[in-house]
């Protein structure tokens, strides 16, 4: 499962050196190849030191159209969104494991004291029960915000999400729906999460019509998108990149505001290569776009997909379709292995791997 998938499209006219085809490199040089791709690590026999984060958070300019702003990091912006929700919607309830004291990532700090223990409460350790219960709360007309403690634990609830939540409106002919349900979960690699605290399960849900999947890249986006998800009359799954909880700090509007779902955002216009990413990977892509501009003279367009399902096909494929692409679409992601513990620095699609992919693409 990829930590975050990035896709590359190469467009523009003119042919380049013919491609030699996908070559399977000699397996014995595999290790050296990986190391070549990461100039930051030289070949050493002693233990690798822990690397710095594979991305640099790039804050957006301060939004002016939503009123006064305050400096917040990602988890604080989530708290702010939930605060707004509980204040404005008397039917809203928040529940999950350990949310009462503030949550294991401090996303619900202070809410129980402010709004009472019947609106912010803990559940026992039962993900299937949490989501099933949330569907019921939503069907009965309340706004339910369910927290799954880590996206890796969402699988016991997979049946409830796919078979119950997603199909409720359809199977009842619009008589009933659980649109008031929003499921939030910390998501993605964090540097030391290994198999069960690093997964990015959005792909499993991406084939399920009836749910929406949203992944923000920053605090401003997170608050707006979360409020949109809560307001949206469909069950939504909101994945929060946990590595950004503290690392991403921005000026976030204090008042509630929404960012439309199913609309990808073009962060940077370009003419040669399109880079599509979501979550933490967007920041990697922005850096890669700069690198490509400096070192290769390649102009990259960076798109943050934001909503994985239903995704904004129009923005991403705006000018081209397959026949116009100069090179095959390139997918840069984690290896097809479970998310490793000790091998994590080699597993994640860091900026060097993406940069390398761009290089190959333009030489296709």
Partner 1 sequence: MLTNISNVLRACVQRNQVATVLISARTYADFTTEATFEIKKCDVHKLDEAPATQVVLTRDEGLQYYRIMQTIRRMELKADQLYKQKIIRGFCHLYDGQEACAVGIEAAINLTDHLITAYRAHGYTYTRGGTVKQIMAELTGRRGGIAKGKGGSMHMYCKNFYGGNGIVGAQVPLGAGVALACKYQGKNELCVCLYGDGAANQGQIFETYNMAALWKLPVIFICENNRYGMGTSVERAAASTDYYKRGEFIPGLRLDGMDFLCVREATRFAADHCRSGKGPILMELQTYRYHGHSMSDPGISYRTREEIQEVRSKSDPISLLKDRMLSNNMASVEELKDIDVEVRKEIEDAAQFATTDPEPPLEELCNHIFYNNPPIEVRGTNPWSKLKSVS
Q: Where does this chain bind partner 1 (CB under 8 A)? A: 22-25, 27, 30-31, 33-34, 45, 47-48, 50, 97-98, 101, 122, 124-126, 128-129, 152-153, 155-156, 192-197, 328, 330-338, 340-343, 346-347, 349, 353, 356-357, 360
- Nearest-10 crossing angle of helices 219-231, 74-88: 30
Closest approach, Cβ 105 to partner 1, in A, equals 11
Q: E-assigned strands of 11-119?
A: 69-73, 92-96
Closest approach, Cβ 186 to partner 1, in A, equals 13
Question: Among this protein's residues, is 319 annotated catalytic?
Answer: no
Closest approach, Cβ 120 to partner 1, in A, equals 14
Question: Among this protein's residues, is 197 annotated catalytic?
Answer: yes
Closest approach, Cβ 243 to partner 1, in A, equals 14
Q: Which of the residues 54, 97, 147, 197 is marked catalytic?
A: 197
Q: Based on CB atoms, which residue is closest to partner 1, 176 or 343?
A: 343
C-alpha neighbours within 13 Å on the C-beta side of residue 349: 31
Other C-beta atoms lying within 10 Å of the C-beta of residue 247? 17
The contacts of residue 327 (CB under 8 Å, 6+ apart) are 10, 19, 361, 362, 364
Omega before residue 232 within 30° of 0, cis:
no
Q: Based on CB atoms, which residue is closest to partner 1, 71 or 359?
A: 359
Q: Which of the residues 54, 97, 127, 147 is marked catalytic?
A: 127
Q: Based on CB atoms, which residue is closest to partner 1, 100 or 211?
A: 100
Q: Based on CB atoms, which residue is closest to partner 1, 175 or 342?
A: 342
The helix (run of H) or strand (run of E) holding residue 37 is helix 30-37
Count how many residues are written for the chain.
364
| Among candidate residues 361, 198, 352, 175, the one with its CA nearest the CA of residue 280 | 198
Active-site residues, by number, are: 127, 197
């Amino acid at each position: 499962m990829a930590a975050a998938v990035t896709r590359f499209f190469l467009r523009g006219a003119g042919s380049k050196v013919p491609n030699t085809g996908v070559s399977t490199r000699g397996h014995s040089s595999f290790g050296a190849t990986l190391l070549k791709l990461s100039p930051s690590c030289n070949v050493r026999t002693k233990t690798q030191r822990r690397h710095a984060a594979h991305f640099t958070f790039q804050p957006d300019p301060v939004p002016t159209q939503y009123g006064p702003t305050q400096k917040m990091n990602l988890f604080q912006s989530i708290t702010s969104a939930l605060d707004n929700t509980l204040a404005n919607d008397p039917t809203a309830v928040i529940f999950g494991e350990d949310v009462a004291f503030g949550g294991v990532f401090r996303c619900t700090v202070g809410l129980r004291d402010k709004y009472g223990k019947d609106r912010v409460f803990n559940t026992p350790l039962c993900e299937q029960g949490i989501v099933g219960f949330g569907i019921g709360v939503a069907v009965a007309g309340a706004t339910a915000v369910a927290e799954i403690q880590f996206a890796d634990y969402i699988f016991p609830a997979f049946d409830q999400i796919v078979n119950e939540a997603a199909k409720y409106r359809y199977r009842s002919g619009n008589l009933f729906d659980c649109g008031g349900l929003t499921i939030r979960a910390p998501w993605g690699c964090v540097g030391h999460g290994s198999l069960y605290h690093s997964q990015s399960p959005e792909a499993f849900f991406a084939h399920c019509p009836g749910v929406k999947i949203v992944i923000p890249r920053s605090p401003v986006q997170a608050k707006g998108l979360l409020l949109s998800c809560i307001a949206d009359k469909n069950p939504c799954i909101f994945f929060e990149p946990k590595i950004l909880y503290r690392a991403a700090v921005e000026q976030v509007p204090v008042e509630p505001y929404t960012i439309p779902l199913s609309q990808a955002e073009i962060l940077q216009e370009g003419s040669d290569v399109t880079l599509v990413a979501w979550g933490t990977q967007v920041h990697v892509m922005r850096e890669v776009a700069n690198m490509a501009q400096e070192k290769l003279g390649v102009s990259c367009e960076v798109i943050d997909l934001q909503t994985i399902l239903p995704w904004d096909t129009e923005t991403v494929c705006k000018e081209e379709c397959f026949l116009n692409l100069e090179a095959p679409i390139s997918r840069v992601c984690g290896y097809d292995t479970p998310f490793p513990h000790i091998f994590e620095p080699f597993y994640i699609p860091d900026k060097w791997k993406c940069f390398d992919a761009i290089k190959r693409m333009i030489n296709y």
